[in-house]
Amino acid sequence: MKILETFRPVFERTDAQFIAQNAKYDMIVLKWYGIEVKGKLFDTMLAHYLIEPEGRRSMDLLSAQYLQYEPVSIETLIGKKGKNQGNMRDVEIEKIKEYAAEDADITLQLKSKFEPLLQERNVANVFYDIEAPLVQVLTDMEYEGVKIDVQALADYSRELETEVRRAEERFSSRRASASTWALPSNWAKCSSKSSS
C-alpha cells in the first residue's frame, strides 16, 4: 500500500492522459485501494474494438498483429488459466519488473498505431467523446454494483413482445411474410413503401 500512496498524486492528476490495455480492470483494482484515476484515458483494447469490431483484443495478439512482436506471456510467469494457476505475488520482483515494463511499452506503441486508425475509420470522436469517458462510469458501476428491478424488466419485456407482434403484423401485411419479417432487407422494403 505504501507504494500505491507514492503514486496517488500521479493517478489523481486531471491534466494527464493514462494509457492502458483494459483500463477498467486497472481502475477497479486501484479503486479497491482508494485511488481514483482522474485524467483522460486511452484504452488500447477499446480503441481496437472501434477499429476492428470483430477482432480479438488480447495484448499479445494485438502486439503480434500491429507490432510484429511476441511479448512474454503472463502464463510463463504464473502458469495456464485454471485452478493451478499461480499468483503474481509469488513471482520474483525482477521477472515482474521486466514483464510490467514490456507491457507498458507495448501498450504505448499500440496507442501510436491506433490513433491514426481511429481517424482513418472516422471513429475518433466516438472513442474520445463517448467510449473513453464511459470507462469511468462502467468502473464505478462495477465497483459499486447495480440493483436490478426484476419486475420492471419483466414488465418491459412483455411490452416489447407486444410491440414486436404489432410490428410483425404490420410488416407481414405489406411485403414481408411473417417468417421473414425480421430480415433487414424486408424492413427496408416495407419502410420505403410506407414512405412513398
Give whole-number Cα distances, 170 to 183, 186, 189, in Å: 14, 12, 13
Q: How far is residue 185 CA from its own chain's centroid? A: 30
Dmax over CA atoms of the chain, in Å, equals: 71
* DSSP-derived 3-state class of residue 19: strand
Of 160, 189, 148, the residue nearest 172 (C-alpha):
189
Do residues 18 and 39 make contact, with C-beta atoms less than 8 angstroms apart?
A: yes
Q: pLDDT 10s per residue in the chain (196 long)?
A: 788 899 999 999 999 999 999 999 999 999 999 999 999 999 999 999 999 999 888 999 999 999 999 999 889 899 898 888 989 888 999 999 999 999 999 999 999 999 999 999 999 999 999 999 999 999 999 999 988 899 999 999 999 999 988 888 877 766 555 555 555 555 555 555 544 4
Q: What is the per-residue pLDDT across 157-183, written as a single tens digit (0 to 9) for each?
A: 999 999 988 888 877 766 555 555 555
Instruction: Give the model's pLDDT for residue 126.
Output: 96
Do residues 90 and 58 make contact, with C-beta atoms less than 8 angstroms apart?
A: no
Give whole-number Cα distances, 75 to 79, 87, 164, in Å: 4, 10, 47
Of 70, 63, 51, 68, the residue nearest 106 (C-alpha):
63
Q: What is the per-residue pLDDT across 93-110, written as a single tens digit (0 to 9) for each?
A: 999 999 999 999 999 999
What is the DSSP secondary structure assignment for residue 173, as one 8-state letter? T
Do residues 43 and 134 make contact, with C-beta atoms less than 8 angstroms apart?
A: no
Instruction: Give the model's pLDDT for residue 41.
Output: 95
Of 131, 112, 105, the residue nearest 66 (C-alpha):
112
CA–CA gap between residue 174 and residue 186 (Å, rounded): 10
Q: What is the per-residue pLDDT across 151-161, written as a single tens digit (0 to 9) for each?
A: 999 999 999 99
